[in-house]
Chain A
Amino acid sequence: MSSPPSLRELQHAFAGAIVNGAAPALEPWIAARGIAPAARLRIYRNANLAIHVDALATSFPALQRLLGEDCFDGLATRHAAYRGNRSGNLQDHGADFAAFVEAQPETAPWPWLGDVARLEWLRQEVALAADAAPADAAALVAALADAEQPPRLRPCVRVLSCAWAVLDLWRCAQAPEHDAIDPIAPQSVLLWREGSQVAMRAIAPAQAAFVAALRHGSSLDLALAAAQLIDPQAPPETLLRPLLEHALLAA
């Protein structure tokens, strides 16, 4: 740049230095004072990597334990370079990390790691979801009597169905001294918040399909149909049971 950069030019060049480690067009406009402009820019690049790696480590602690710190840091650093963050709020950072992890060559031998990351991201969503009082008995009766009107779930309810024993893997990451588990077993997980804690339990695939349909605003009839696509023999009362046991229908 022979004339001073515009603010937009400067910021794009600065961003290039953070992502790629070099901004030759910007360096002439940085006062050296005994320290090379490239070294000054590198401070911001290193800080940026640390910010994003730390944020991912906070959101994905089980994945970090299963991968080991070095491998996790390598993936997180690559994610910072190629994907970055699309939000000024670090709580939003990592929504795409599960898909990124399972696309990386070093995780190919452990194809369940993407689902472990998916489960951890859902745990974060559950922890940060809006509060809502559970439905009382009268509201429950009214909601369940109207087959057309979709019952509302509490905002903290999530469900995950996958081809791997993802809940067992997550628990193994918390307490690796437990017996080895077989990851190759499909598992569906219901997540919700109890007090300030995230709760999880395994549920049947048909129950998961039922909850997922309700989460997307389906009526009871449609949710029942979605569950029976998975298990035509699933009794309707068993589909509702986890939601009633944990008071997950909203007032």
Chain B
Amino acid sequence: MPPSRPVRAQPIPTSVGIGLRPAHVAHVLQHRPAVPFFELHSENLFCAGGALWDAFDALRRDYPVSLHGVGLSLGSADPLDPAHLAALRALVQRAEPALVSEHVCWGAIGGRHYNDLLPLPYTEEALDLMVARVGQLQEALGRRVLVENVSSYIHFSHSTLSEWEFLAALAARSGCGLLLDVNNVYVNSVNHGFDAQRFIDGVPADAVGELHLAGFTRKHGLGGELLIDSHDQRVDAAVWALYGYTLARIGARPSLIEWDQHLPDFAVLEDEARLATEHLDVVTALAA
């Protein structure tokens, strides 16, 4: 059990954390499992107070925490929602998380939000916009952020860059870090027909600050194979293999188990974290 102490902004260790969803909060606070860090969705803490904040305050006394945004819509052709950005800024000031991340995607246009991580075309126009938006975000928060590659079911044929070239250029030009979701790389490699290892090879290792792992489902009946990033399964064997390749390629990084739908008992997430830790331990031992 981690010691209880009033520590602020504990750094994220290079080990395997768990994405904490509201349904598991009571269990975690009661049993204080030995999880190296937790990641929460930023928007869950946009509220001013109440039970979620009580739980968060209790949680961060004992664990390092990172905040992972899902609703800023960085890649929208419309300006960022100033209220959302202000809420995120206030949250980061109040919560002092060790890491802050968002997504390389869009989710709103014309004043309407779709509350989903929608795909961008990998064009110079989209890259210029993302560079500007990540810069705006980092300036507003006064800190470097990580941005995550998303899974997608659509590839725009007028894209002029590969997804990994887009991410590399975004990191180089904006100074942001990358949150590399290994499951999303694998899902997209199947959905769009590229070599997943080539993606990993194309990502600047120094920019990667965190890795994500999750489960997908296979969708049938569409005429071709399509993987859905459902976050409701254990990590697939192919993704474990790609995770091992990623660690060997870029080195050990803080890694996170995500599970968002049909949440199992917390013990299942701990078991997934144990499997990830076994991979991480191999790389750490080899590097020693």
State the A residues within 8 Å of B (CB): 4-8, 10-12, 14-15, 18, 28-31, 33-37, 39-41, 43-44, 47-48, 51-52, 55, 84-91, 93, 127-131, 155-156, 193, 196
A33 touches B193 (CB 8 A): yes
Are A7 and B50 also in contact (CB < 8 A) when A30-B155, A87-B84 are?
no
* CB-CB nearest 7 A-B residue pairs: A34-B224, A88-B71, A128-B47, A130-B48, A196-B51, A4-B158, A8-B77
Distance of A43 from chain B, by nearest CB (Å): 5
A14 touches B113 (CB 8 A): no
Cβ of B110 under 8 Å from chain A = yes
Distance of A50 from chain B, by nearest CB (Å): 10
How far is A4 from B116 in the complex, measured between Cα atoms in Å? Answer: 24
B50 touches A128 (CB 8 A): yes
A30 touches B156 (CB 8 A): yes
Distance of A1 from chain B, by nearest CB (Å): 10
List chain A residues, Cβ under 8 A from B50: 127-129, 131, 156, 193, 196
Please list 8 pairs of residues, one from A and one from B, whose beta carbons are closer than 8 Å in the complex, sorted by A's number.
A7-B121, A11-B76, A33-B224, A39-B222, A48-B114, A87-B83, A88-B81, A91-B43
A88 touches B224 (CB 8 A): no
Task: Name the residue among B81, B108, B109, B116 with the largest chain A CB count within 10 angstroms.
Answer: B109
List chain A residues, Cβ under 8 A from B222: 35-36, 39
Are A40 and B153 also in contact (CB < 8 A) when A7-B125, A88-B115, A131-B53 are?
yes
List chain A residues, Cβ under 8 A from B3: none
Which of chain B's residues has its CB closest to A32's CB? B224
Distance of B162 from chain A, by nearest CB (Å): 13
How far is A128 from B55 in the complex, measured between Cα atoms in Å? Answer: 13
How far is A72 from B129 in the complex, measured between Cα atoms in Å? Answer: 39
Which of chain A's residues has its CB closest to B26's CB? A196
Which of chain A's residues has its CB closest to B219's CB? A43
A128 touches B49 (CB 8 A): yes
How far is A179 from B77 in the complex, measured between Cα atoms in Å? Answer: 55
A7 touches B77 (CB 8 A): yes
Distance of A125 from chain B, by nearest CB (Å): 9
Which of chain B's residues has its CB closest to A15's CB? B109
Cβ of B248 under 8 Å from chain A = no
How far is A17 from B175 in the complex, measured between Cα atoms in Å? Answer: 34
Distance of B44 from chain A, by nearest CB (Å): 8
A7 touches B126 (CB 8 A): yes
- Contact pattern, B 91-119, Cβ under 8 Å of A = 1, otherwise 0: 00000000000000011111111111010
Are A10 and B156 also in contact (CB < 8 A) when A15-B109, A128-B47 are?
yes
> 15 extra interchain contacts, Cβ-Cβ under 8 A, other than A10-B121, A14-B118?
A6-B125, A7-B121, A8-B77, A30-B155, A31-B155, A33-B192, A34-B223, A35-B223, A43-B219, A44-B118, A47-B116, A86-B113, A88-B84, A91-B47, A130-B49
List chain B residues, Cβ under 8 A from A91: 43-44, 46-47
Task: Name the residue among A4, A86, A155 with the largest chain B CB count within 10 angstroms.
Answer: A4
List chain A residues, Cβ under 8 A from B193: 33
How far is A184 from B236 in the complex, measured between Cα atoms in Å? Answer: 56
How far is A12 from B106 in the complex, measured between Cα atoms in Å? Answer: 11
How far is A10 from B73 in the complex, measured between Cα atoms in Å? Answer: 15
- Contact pattern, B 16-58, Cβ under 8 Å of A = 1, otherwise 0: 0000000000000000000000000001101111111110000
Distance of A233 from chain B, by nearest CB (Å): 38
List chain B residues, Cβ under 8 A from A34: 223-224
A89 touches B121 (CB 8 A): no
A31 touches B46 (CB 8 A): no
How far is A7 from B106 in the complex, measured between Cα atoms in Å? Answer: 10
List chain A residues, Cβ under 8 A from B155: 30-31, 33
B106 touches A11 (CB 8 A): yes
For A15, give its contact among B87, B112, B154, B224 (CB under 8 Å): B112
For A84, give its contact among B71, B72, B112, B223 (CB under 8 Å): B112
Distance of B30 from chain A, by nearest CB (Å): 14
